[in-house]
Amino acid sequence: MPSISAGADMGRYIIRSNTPEQLNAFIDSVRTDSSVELVDTIGPAGQPHTAVFTMPADKAALLEQRFRDSNQLSIEPDRPLSLFGA
């Protein structure tokens, strides 16, 4: 059961990878997709382990299913951090 609710609304999502090569390959594969915008990467220069994207919830739900099947990348909604999980 998907944890990302499908819908047309735009949202921010975190995509993580165990290897920088996998994440870089994914980033390259979505560069021409106008519905997906790379916001930031986290990790050493040229070797990110995490990327933040803006995309429609429908697209994120599809990626979640694809990633679950491949077990190489993971996606989750980008939620604000709080000190005590309020």
Which among 35, 22, 6 has a CA at the least distance from the CA of 72?
22
Query: What confidence tier does 7 reach under pLDDT thresholds 50, 70, 90?
Result: low
Q: Decide the pairing of beta strands 50-56 and 73-77.
A: unpaired
pLDDT surpasses 80 at 3 = no
Q: How far from the centroid of its chain's Cα atoms is residue 82's Cα?
A: 21
**Could you tell me the pTM of the whole model?**
0.83
Name which of 5-14, 21-30, 41-50, 62-71 the model is least confident about.
Answer: 5-14
pLDDT surpasses 90 at 1 = no
Q: Does residue 5 lie in a domain region? A: no
**H helical segments located in the chain:** 20-30, 57-70
Identify the domain containing residue 41 by its residue range. 10-77
3-state secondary structure of 71: coil
pLDDT (0 to 100) of residue 41: 95
Q: Does residue 83 lie in a domain region? A: no
Q: Does residue 3 lie in a domain region? A: no
Q: Does residue 2 lie in a domain region? A: no
Q: Does residue 48 lie in a domain region? A: yes
Structurally, the chain folds into a number of domains equal to: 1
CATH number of the domain that residue 55 is part of? 3.30.70.250
Asked if 75 contacts 13 with a C-beta cutoff of 8 angstroms, the reply is yes
Q: Does residue 59 lie in a domain region? A: yes
CB atoms within 10 A of CB 30: 18
